[in-house]
Amino acid sequence: MKIWNAVKIALVSLRLHKMRSALTMLGIIIGVAAVIVMVAIGSGARVEISRQIAGVGSNLLLVLPGTTTSGGLRMGLGTAPTLTDGDAQAIAQEIPSVRYVAPYWGDAAQVVYGNRNWSTIVNGTLPEVQWVRNYELIAGRFFTDPEVNRAARVCVMGDTVARELFGAQNPVGQIIRIQKMPFTVIGHLVPKGRTTHGRDQDDVILVPLSTAQKRLFGSTLPA
């Protein structure tokens, strides 16, 4: 009975003070909603940061070549291409904690398919890059060590390039031209999205390192 009496008194009080009751309810609703929104924002930010870190590659260490000085002006890291294939091999062989090594050598290039063309970054690298950078494939495969050894004209294409050149068509098996040279598309990468700096990680084409060095850019110094 005491509980029922308390409920009746509360209902009478609510009827007598409708404005106060409405404002109290509004305050509670706004407070709870604000907490829910803040928790959701925090969870979403945590998921997005984790996705971006996974996209770049976890436990990833970048080794950049040195700098140059011109007219007293010191350039940024990577302006002096001093690293070689031997450096990459030494890191892989002499540092036990390093599991995979994937040197890069590339530059911007014009890519053509039919009457479509796109300017993108073409990076020469090794098959190990798929594990270093956590690359996954929508279709096709990565190039192999024998293809690297013979400087094969094959490539793996990022999703942005595939969309610009092929639209909804499957690019695997198609022939494109990079720097006026024919290349066979053997793989289509799963989209990674943009980095925290706004760079599109899918606007890229990967080719065997030796192909980039010998056929495309004429240098044997991977950066």
- Taking only the tens place, the pLDDT of each residue in 172-183 is 999 999 988 999
168 residue type, one letter: A
Q: Are residues 109 and 181 in the same domain?
A: yes
Same domain, 19 and 41: yes
Cβ neighbours of residue 94 closer than 8 Å, sequence gap 6 or more: none
Q: Which two tokens stand for residue 113?
A: 């398919």
SS3 115: coil
169, part of any domain: yes
pLDDT surpassing 60 at residue 222: no
Instruction: Note whether 24 and 126 are same-domain residues.
Output: no
Same domain, 212 and 119: yes
Weakest mean pLDDT among 17-26, 67-76, 103-112: 67-76
Query: What pLDDT sits at residue 74?
Result: 57
Mean pLDDT for 183-207 is 89
Closest CA to 75 of 60, 64, 89, 63: 64
For residues 21 and 86, membership in a common domain is answered with no
The pLDDT, as a whole number, for residue 206 is: 96
Q: Are residues 141 and 196 in the same domain?
A: yes
Report the SS3 class of residue 205: strand
Does 36 lie in the same domain as 76? Answer: no
Q: Helix 18-56 to helix 2-16 angle, to the nearest 10 degrees?
A: 100
Number of domains composing the chain: 2
d(CA 81, CA 105): 10
Q: Are residues 130 and 76 in the same domain?
A: yes
**Does residue 161 sit within a domain?**
yes
* Mean of pLDDT over the chain: 81
Same domain for 32 and 117, yes or no, is no
Judge contact between 135 and 129, C-beta under 8 A: yes
Closest CA to 222 of 107, 133, 103, 108: 103
Residue scoring higher pLDDT (190 or 55)? 190
Report yes or no on 144 lying in a domain: yes
How far does CA 177 lie from the centroid of its chain? 24
Q: What angle do CA 104, 107, 109 make, to 5 degrees?
A: 135
Are 129 and 144 in contact by the 8 Å Cβ rule? The answer is no
**Is 84 found in the same domain as 42?**
no
In a domain, residue 64? The reply is no
222 located within any domain: no
Domain span at 134: 69-216
Residues 76 and 47 in one domain: no
In a domain, 10, yes or no: yes
Distance CA 18, CA 12 (A): 10
On whether the pTM is more than 0.85, the answer is: no
Maximum mean pLDDT: which of 76-85, 124-133, 148-157: 148-157
CA distances from 62 to 85, 127, 210 (A): 15, 17, 20
pLDDT exceeds 50 at position 223: no
Does 62 map to a domain?
A: no
